[in-house]
Structure 1
């Protein structure tokens, strides 16, 4: 009898949870339209918590984090690229139609050059044929170095051009860029910079770049580290 009453209570409560989630999402959208993005994020998060299967709320969390990232509010709101991708993936799993919207949504521009976004488009580092495209589509960052975060970045472009960006930790700190060329054969990638011997490397099946001398590169920078 007690079990029956519990099940009945849950069934009756379910619509109210959904209604609450929709109401919270509507409040969030109004705040978003008014440019009050932190407040909108709070409402969208509350809507997603009220109904974890509410795809639109999950999507709106991802989009609002994208806006906050564009505004440079990364650390205060944990607007990391991977966090945005996680929420977007959740939304798409709940409602695959969300992917079509995401392709046109400027709020999600900060994640276009990530491995996670490329996977949503059907590309994968497990397929060697996709390696050249992934190299060009993704911006690659070194792991963080304490408070300095990522100190190296690689950008590949058409015409087999590559640019290596570095932050030199000295007093004063400075940055420098080196332009060079690259070749790809299967998973093997070779970088060549003027006046230096070629630097061999590879893309792993997990989508990580590994180079002799330069080390490892990932699709997201290290941010907000203490």
Structure 2
């Protein structure tokens, strides 16, 4: 989806949300859109945030904050602008709560690609870890991260490319620091997961109803990495 065309539609094609907003909020949002068009994303973010503060019920402003944070995240500007996956999801959720039509737009918006593999996005699509029937799909569609270890952030990541394979990525904190990946297989029965890697004994775990993967030896994994920690 082309970001330019999408945001133009957001500004011009939603009279119920934008035209009912106070004039200062509309003006700030429009100014932010122009900055966004010019590729000045930090400046655009500032204006969109100001618009959301001027009118907290302006769904368009919250949506534009989420989308711009998505762009900044893609550019690697995570820490300077707090472009965390959970932050993007929070602003998107606020926008959708104010105007449910935003979800249809979000599904087509490339700016929001950085959150597609989160549990929060899957919940927006109607999937829930509290339903056992959704566990297989959530396992495959979400990228799972271990807790952070100081400045290193999350040092382990699990992905489940299909119904059989699992990939464990990890950062080895040595001198020098290095990363490695190990591919294996998994089986799933209800909420119980068994990981099998070459040369290692099977690792037992499960997905909780809160959407946390918990393994006896690997620890816990959630859908967002630890970032920007001192």
Counterpart check, 1:151 vs 2:147: no
Counterpart check, 1:54 vs 2:47: no
Answer yes or no: is the 8 Å Cα contact 2:140–2:163 preserved in 1: no
Counterpart check, 1:181 vs 2:185: yes
Distance in 2 between residues matched to 1:150 and 1:16, nearest whole Å: 43
Aligned CA distance change for structure 1 residues 101 and 195 (closer, same or farther; 3 Å): same
CA-atom RMSD in angstroms? 1.2
* Matching of residues 1-226 of structure 1 within 5 Å: 18-226=22-230
* DSSP 3-state at the match of 1:24: helix
Answer yes or no: is the 8 Å Cα contact 2:119–2:211 preserved in 1: yes
Which residue pairs with 2:12 in the alignment? none
Distance in 1 between residues matched to 2:21 and 2:188, nearest whole Å: 53
Distance in 1 between residues matched to 2:61 and 2:20, nearest whole Å: 16
Which residue pairs with 1:6 in the alignment? none
Answer yes or no: is the 8 Å Cα contact 1:210–1:216 preserved in 2: yes
Distance in 2 between residues matched to 1:139 and 1:25, nearest whole Å: 33
Alpha-carbon displacement from aligned partner over 1:132-181 (angstroms, at most 9, x marks no partner):
10010000000000111000000001141000001000000001111000
The Cα of 1:16 is off from its aligned counterpart by 10
Name stretches of at least 5 consecutive residues in structure 1 with no aligned partner: 1-14
Q: How many residues align?
A: 212
Distance in 2 between residues matched to 1:209 and 1:130, nearest whole Å: 14
More moved, 51-60 vs 156-165: 156-165
The Cα of 1:17 is off from its aligned counterpart by 7.0
